[in-house]
């Protein structure tokens, strides 16, 4: 009997030791051992549904690169919008550690991080992916955003552009005057642009645009042109304005600070390398999808209206006014607006 009790005591002690050892591994890891071989499994949710390039192409591209660059130490559990939280609640869920990572959008993050108003850029300023990369990686925008997001409990990963960010409508746009009185789905700096030209900006998730156009809730929207095909928006759209308001529809890939801080400095460095590479990969993927969608939309009967000369200058002028209004409304994001202005001055100087 004594030997049996002794055996039970040994078993219980071993179980306690093993439980304590397992608990030391951290909250978001599974498999492997603590240290260099530890494997993390992060919950990642996209703010856009299946069928949208954000969910189908961009999120897996970014996540797969991170897994590759970390030699498999970071794995993923994918969730559709609404599975853990509604799209507009993604930033708050990251801040609270409910989500580990997300592909989201500045218009949602702006609710808790005013710097997102600078992150979305100024309409018609970023004409190419090289413009955006330069502003973020060479003129300090990325470092500024990481600092600002960290204060809200979020680690800013990368600016994720999803193809040309274009004005698409159920009426032709040949000048700013054509937008007066129209209801246009838009956000952050683009909502400010619509106010300036006399339109009414409407807040609406990307997944609701189709029905919004079909029901007449909106007359148009500013969105990635590839969604004419990916989300069948060509069925409810008659006209697209050229040029694009931005070379990429502004989104972002974010981590909760809790998840980010659980990584070793070496892993964080590898993740940031993967994120920088993902900027180019996703932008190029977006451009390819744009070309396919534009060709399919033209065949379907959608008109592409190129605005030029004085009429286009009026859009550029309105873009300049956007910066002035944003600065007045969000003084806490002044440093971000200063970065945009300095980048633009450098670009204009190089063009002379």
For position 16, what pLDDT does the model report? Answer: 31
- Percentage with pLDDT > 90 across the chain: 81
HEC profile of 194-235:
HHHCCCEEECCCHHHHHHHHHHCCCCEEEEECCHHHHCCHHH
pLDDT, tens digit (0-9, with 9 covering 90-100), for 5-43 = 333 343 333 333 333 323 333 344 544 344 468 999 999
For position 27, what pLDDT does the model report? Answer: 40
| Nearest of 103, 205, 100, 217 to residue 160 by alpha carbon | 103
Q: Is 43 within 8 Å of 254 (Cβ atoms)?
A: no
pLDDT, tens digit (0-9, with 9 covering 90-100), for 307-327 = 999 999 999 999 999 999 999
pLDDT, tens digit (0-9, with 9 covering 90-100), for 275-290 = 999 999 999 999 999 9
Q: Is the confidence at residue 52, as pLDDT, over 90? A: no
Q: Is the confidence at residue 140, as pLDDT, over 50? A: yes
- Average pLDDT (38-67) is 94
Q: Give the integer Cα–Cα distance in Å for 35 and 346.
A: 44
pLDDT mean across residues, the chain = 89
Q: List strand residue ranges (DSSP E) for 33-140, in order.
A: 40-46, 74-79, 101-104
Mark residue 231 as left, alpha or beta (left: phi above 0; alpha: psi -120 to 50; beta: remaining). Answer: alpha
């Amino acid at each position: 009997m004594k030997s049996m009790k002794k055996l039970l005591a040994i078993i219980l002690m071993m179980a306690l030791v093993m439980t304590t050892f397992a608990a030391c591994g951290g909250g978001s890891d599974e498999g492997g051992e603590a240290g260099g071989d530890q494997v993390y499994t992060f919950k990642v949710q996209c703010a856009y549904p299946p069928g949208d390039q954000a969910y189908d192409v961009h999120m897996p591209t970014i996540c797969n690169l991170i897994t590759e660059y970390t030699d498999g130490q970071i794995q993923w559990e994918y969730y559709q919008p609404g599975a853990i939280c509604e799209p507009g609640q993604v930033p708050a869920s990251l801040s609270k550690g409910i989500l580990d990572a997300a592909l989201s959008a500045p218009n949602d993050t702006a609710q808790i991080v005013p710097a997102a108003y600078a992150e979305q850029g100024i309409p018609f300023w970023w004409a190419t992916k090289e413009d955006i990369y330069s502003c973020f990686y060479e003129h300090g925008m990325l470092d500024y955003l990481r600092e600002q997001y960290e204060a809200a409990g979020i680690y800013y990963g990368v600016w994720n552009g999803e193809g040309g960010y274009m004005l698409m409508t159920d009426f032709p746009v040949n000048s700013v005057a054509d937008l007066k009185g129209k209801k246009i789905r838009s956000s952050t700096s683009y909502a400010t642009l619509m106010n300036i030209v006399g339109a009414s900006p409407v807040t609406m998730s990307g997944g609701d645009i189709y029905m919004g156009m079909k029901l007449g809730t909106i007359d148009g929207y500013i969105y990635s042109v590839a969604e004419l095909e990916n989300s069948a928006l060509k069925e409810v759209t008659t006209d697209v304005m050229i040029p694009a308001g931005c070379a990429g529809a502004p989104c972002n890939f974010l981590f909760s600070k809790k998840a980010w801080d659980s990584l070793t400095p070496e892993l964080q460095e590898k993740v940031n390398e993967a994120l920088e590479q993902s900027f180019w990969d996703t932008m190029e993927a977006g451009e390819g999808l744009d070309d396919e969608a534009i060709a399919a939309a033209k065949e379907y009967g959608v008109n592409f209206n190129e605005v030029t000369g004085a009429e286009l200058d009026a859009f550029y002028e309105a873009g300049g006014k956007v910066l002035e209004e944003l600065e007045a409304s969000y003084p806490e994001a002044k440093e971000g607006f200063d970065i945009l202005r300095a980048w633009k001055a450098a670009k204009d100087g190089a063009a002379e």
